[in-house]
Amino acid sequence: MRKSGCSWSAMAFAIVGLTQALAAGTAVAGGFSLFVESGAAAVGNAQAGSAALAEDATTVFYNPAGLTRLEGRQLSLVASGVGPSANFSNSGSTSAIPSIPLTGGDGGDAGSWGFVPAGFYAMDVTPRLKFGAGFNAPFGLKTEYDNDWVGRYHAIKSELKTISMTPALAFKVNDRLSLGVGFIAEWAKAELTKAIDFGAACFGSGFGPAACTAAGILPQTKDGRAKVEGEDWGFGYSLGALFQVVPSTRVGVAYRSKITHVISGDAHFTTPNLPGPFALLTSTPATTNTSAKARVTLPETLSVSAVTEITPKWSLLGDVTWTNWSRFDELRVHFSNGAPDSVTKENWHDTVRVALAVNYQATDVWKLRAGWAYDPTPVKDTFRTPRIPDEDRVWLSFGTNVKISAASSLDFAYAHLFVKDASINDTASGAGTLRGNYNNHVDVITAQLNYKF
């Protein structure tokens, strides 16, 4: 009897899905990145000028060299609500047994609102040397479908949480040049679930369709469930430079290094009760709780930002950010139970994000912001999965800063991301082919308190 279609591949695809979710959550351009949500000014400006603005302690994250523009001790506390929406429409999906139609609904809205906190601190060491520290969640992802949706054998839940800690130093070389460096310690935790079609596995096994049908084991009637959880610490660094080109214009350059995570995961399987010898289908090593590891290298990014004062009240801001997503040509998973490595081709491509913004100092108390950005996805159409139904997006954002005292101010911002409709044609072993389209959008609401000691 040959092995069932959900034997080694069941856990292979589950762990691969875990690493895909982690990879997507880190994309600066597209892919559910939370980079911008680490500061309300960045949200209001659609990230334009983030590496050059340096108005508050959030510069620890966006460009550590910007710390030299701050005086004394400063604290910035950020709270963001991020609301992605992903609605799937089925158009000809097929089951693992092509002659049997694939059942299930469209899954509901796979997106949901999430809370993203951040905190940053800056202080003087000497008049020319500054120290800063930040805690934020730069990467995040959560998609969750109805348990009985048409793509349940591809994905049900994908969730990624991160916490990044960054101490940083900045040195003012002269009145025109400042340099900065930061150390990044990043914790990541991910969870992935999917359904397993043991009925289809029976049809594809040595038992054959006739014996399985006689035993009442039909495709899509004997489902199990796979859940994978994993976590890891990764480390990297950031570099920054700030140039005061002329009194009215400064340019910031910020680099964030790659971060390598070795995701250690535990795979847990829930299986149906199958009669007699058919129980062999649920007792293979690959459907027994085990562990696996996947090495994921998150790409480096390079941002160039500029801020120029047109008049004492009006400023223009710009940003170009490159992300080296072409590092993701494949995802390789190693299993502790001796199964062969599972290799999934990704073939992601580099992205260049472009943003523009305008700020208006309406009064001594109020500043208004508006921003636009084009934010391309690193995901190619032929490699899109329901865990990462990402496409190109356009940002429109608005924000304000209000001084509430000589020592404190508040920032508020809102951004709406118009996401291009995403098509999907994803085939996975034991899951069939998921075909359809996604209608997506994202809303971001951010508030920030700045306080000077």
Give, for all 453 residues of the chain, the pLDDT tens digit.
333 333 333 333 333 343 333 333 323 234 445 566 789 999 999 999 999 999 999 999 999 999 999 999 999 999 999 999 999 999 989 998 888 888 999 999 998 888 889 999 999 999 999 999 999 988 778 899 999 999 999 999 988 888 899 999 999 999 999 999 999 999 988 888 999 999 999 998 999 999 999 999 999 999 999 888 889 999 999 999 999 999 999 999 999 999 888 888 888 889 999 999 999 998 887 787 888 887 777 788 999 999 999 999 999 999 999 998 888 777 776 778 766 666 666 788 899 999 999 999 999 999 999 999 999 999 888 888 898 898 999 999 999 999 999 999 999 999 999 999 999 999 888 889 999 999 999 999 999 999 999
* CA 288 from centre of chain: 30
CB burial of residue 105 (10 Å; 0-12, 13-18, 19+): middle
pTM for the complete prediction?
0.88
Q: CA-to-CA distance for 199 and 6, rounded, in angstroms?
A: 10
Domains in the chain, please, with CATH? 8-436 (2.40.160.60)
Partners of 65 in beta bridges: none
Q: CA-to-CA distance for 121 and 133, rounded, in angstroms?
A: 5
Q: CA-to-CA distance for 283 and 275, rounded, in angstroms?
A: 13
Which residue from 399, 327, 386, 332 is spatially nearest to 359, judged by alpha carbons? Answer: 399
